[in-house]
Every structure is written in structure tokens, then in C-alpha cells.
Amino acid sequence: MSSHAARRRVARRPSRAITRRRRLALVAVAVLLGALCAALVSGLGKEAVNELGALPLRHDDIIRQQAADKDLDPALIAAVIYEESRFRDQTSHAGARGLMQITPQTADAIARHSGGTRFKQSDLAEPQINISYGAYYLRLLLDHYGGNETLAIAAYNAGMGNVDRWVREAGGASEFKSAEHIPFPETRAYVENVMDRRGDYRENYSEDLGL
């Protein structure tokens, strides 16, 4: 080998500093992957997966508590939260707030009926309060419509006044059919989506929801 070729070969060989940096980078990647795997196995990792997945679930402890307290299906509460907010705290253009998108008027009415004398609108940002009030409203709607879940879910979206009118026009609750008697496309889709997601939550999160 000529001296010129030998010099070229030496020039191509990575320096010790570069080699050391590459090794440190590989170690860092390995540590990061190991931490991610550990997080996925831990409860924190499970929460992250549930939150980022196609079907998120958060605050399942509050959902279980409120379902037991209000005699509701926890999967129904989870499905309403998903449809309303995708489990993200937010405020709509109409002023509905929090995970279950409670309007100020509805929140004030629930506070009066439930004895929440210290309630203020900013409390709706708290998951415990928001889910508690949303579950209270669901229970009220189910009682109002004799346990008819379709009517209760429709009223959660469109209001009791609209649903009461639709029921009268249909000739009674027993004659009511979503596809025929709900004139709002948004509400028809809302009812269908909530019922579908309820089944999904029961299938995928039965243990988390205490089912």
C-alpha cells in the first residue's frame, strides 16, 4: 500500500472523540427507550397510553365514584365525556365548560338542586366537580324520560325542551325513533356516537371502569 493510500485510510478513520460521542448517543437512546418501556408498564404509562390512544380514558376513579353515586353506567359517563370533549378541559363558544361541557345555566340549576351553595362557574374546570355535575344531569334526564337512554342522551345534547316536543310529535316515548323523530342531524349523530362509544368503553376498559 502506498504512503498516500495509507494517509487516506487514516483520514477516513473516525477520531476517538467522534467515536465516544456516538457511543454516548447510543447509550442515551437506549436509556430513553428503557424509560419509555418502564412507563408503559407502570400505572403512569397506562394513563399516558389511555390518553393518547384512539379511545382515551382519564379520571376513571371519579367516573366510577359518580356512577355508583348516581346509579349510572360508568361506560355511559365515559362515552358522554368522549363525545363532549375527548377528555380535554375546554370551553365552547356557547360557554359550556369542562370535560362534560356543562353550560353556565345548567350548572347553576344543578347547584341549586344539589345544594352546592358555594359553587362558582370556575369550579367546572375541576374534573371532580365537572363529572359530578354531568353525572347529576344525566341522572336527572334519565329519571325525566323514565330510563329511556336514547331520549336522555338526546336531551343532553339538544335540551329537554326540544326532546319533550319531539316526543309529543312522535306520539309518545314508546313511538320515538331517533332516525325519524330527531330533526337535528347533530343530535342524531350525537346519540349514535355516544351509544357506540359506550359499547367501546365497556369492551376496552371494563376493568378500569369497574364493570
How much is the pLDDT for 34? 44
Active site residue 51: no
Residues contacting residue 26 through CB under 8 Å, at least 6 positions apart: none
pLDDT band with cut points at 50, 70 and 90 for residue 114: confident
Residue 197: how many other CB atoms lie within 10 Å: 19
The catalytic position among 47, 51, 83, 84 is 84
Kindly state the percentage of the chain with pLDDT values over 70. Answer: 75
pLDDT at position 6 over 80 = no
- What average pLDDT does the segment 157-164 reach? 96
Contact 116, 170 (CB under 8 A): no
Closest by CA position to 150, among listed 203, 195, 110, 209: 195
pLDDT at position 49 over 50 = no
Closest by CA position to 84, among listed 76, 22, 104: 76
pLDDT at position 38 over 90 = no
Contact 40, 49 (CB under 8 A): yes
- What average pLDDT does the segment 32-56 reach? 48
How far apart (Å, rounded) are the C-alpha atoms in residues 211 and 203?
10
Per-residue H/E/C for the chain: CCHHHHHHHHHHCCCHHHHHHHHHHHHHHHHHHHHHHHHHHCHHHHHHHHHHCCCCCCCHHHHHHHHHHHCCCHHHHHHHHHHHHCCCCCECCCCCECCCCECHHHHHHHHHHHCCCCCCHHHHHCHHHHHHHHHHHHHHHHHHCCCCHHHHHHHHHHCHHHHHHHHHHHCCHHHCCHHHHCCCHHHHHHHHHHHHHHHHHHHHCCCCCCC
Determine which of 25-39, 75-89, 130-144, 184-198 has the lowest per-residue pLDDT on average.
25-39
How much is the pLDDT for 148? 96
- What average pLDDT does the segment 75-101 reach? 94
How much is the pLDDT for 44? 40
pLDDT band with cut points at 50, 70 and 90 for residue 94: confident
What average pLDDT is seen over the chain?
82
